[in-house]
Structure 1
Amino acid sequence: MRARLERLKRLAWLLDASIQLPGTKFRFGLDAVIGLVPAGGTVIMTLVSLWIVWEARKLGAPAPLLLRMLVNVAIEAAIDFIPVAGDLIDAAFKANLRNVALLEDYLNGRLP
């Protein structure tokens, strides 16, 4: 279970925070880069984000938590369809890091 969570944390970091904008503290990841590909990038990255939710389900996350995670993915996917501004907001929203943090809180007993 811990090994699976650590893999999800590494994936979320790669997707949402692995690249630092030079001269700033702002970080983004492959999600924002691949999301720049018109329509197809958003679809691919949404599927990867949904895979994280699927893994949370396999780790025993309850339905209310899974719903919250799905809402994060839906918000990010919807925002990403807005040209240019959506890509910038997507880079700041970081749904994958949010979802993995929610899962980790649940697994550590910090969420019901």
Structure 2
Amino acid sequence: MDTEPAALGRIRTVAHILDESVRVPGTTLRVGLDPIIGLLPVAGDVATAVCSLYIVAEAIRLGVPKRTLLRLLANIAVEMLFGSVPVVGDLFDAYWKTNVKNAELVAAAVSE
């Protein structure tokens, strides 16, 4: 049987890989696969948005309230919209960190 802590651990792992897995040399900035894959025009942003939907799927399995699910989806939509702008969008992806935000929203919702 799947447990809540295990699901939250998977969510945090996905968020870390997509948003914070690589430290930019000479800085304290961390980026993940999201802004890197996002360098591919349109396809990269679509691919990372699909990966971000994994967190939403886990949130649904955990019974997160619909209002929180809508916030998760809105964060992904904002990232996809702004992230699709060449160059500026990739910088936006590096700082916005949708998946980390969404992981925090899910954790807060299940702890209520």
TM-score between both structures, scaled by the size of structure 1: 0.94
After superposition, give the CA deviation of every residue in 1:49-102 in whole Å (9 maximum; x if it has no partner): 112112101110010000011110000000111000000011100000000001
Moved over 3 A (4+): none
Q: 1:78 aligns with which of 81, 84, 89?
A: 81
1:54 maps to which residue?
A: 57
For residues 48 and 14 of structure 1, the distance between their equivalents in structure 2, rounded to whole angstroms, comes to 10
Identity among equivalent positions (%) equals: 43
2:66 maps to which residue?
A: 63
1:105 maps to which residue?
A: 108
Which structure 1 segments of 5+ residues have no match? Answer: none
Q: 1:88 aligns with which of 86, 91, 107?
A: 91
2:15 maps to which residue?
A: 12
1:39 maps to which residue?
A: 42
Total equivalences in the alignment: 109
Q: 2:28 aligns with which of 4, 25, 29?
A: 25
1:9 Cα deviation from its structure 2 partner? 0.2
1:24 Cα deviation from its structure 2 partner? 1.0
Which structure 2 segments of 5+ residues have no match? Answer: none
Quick one: which amino acid aligns to residue 8 of structure 1?
I
Quick one: which amino acid aligns to residue 44 of structure 1?
A
1:23 Cα deviation from its structure 2 partner? 1.4
1:107 Cα deviation from its structure 2 partner? 1.3
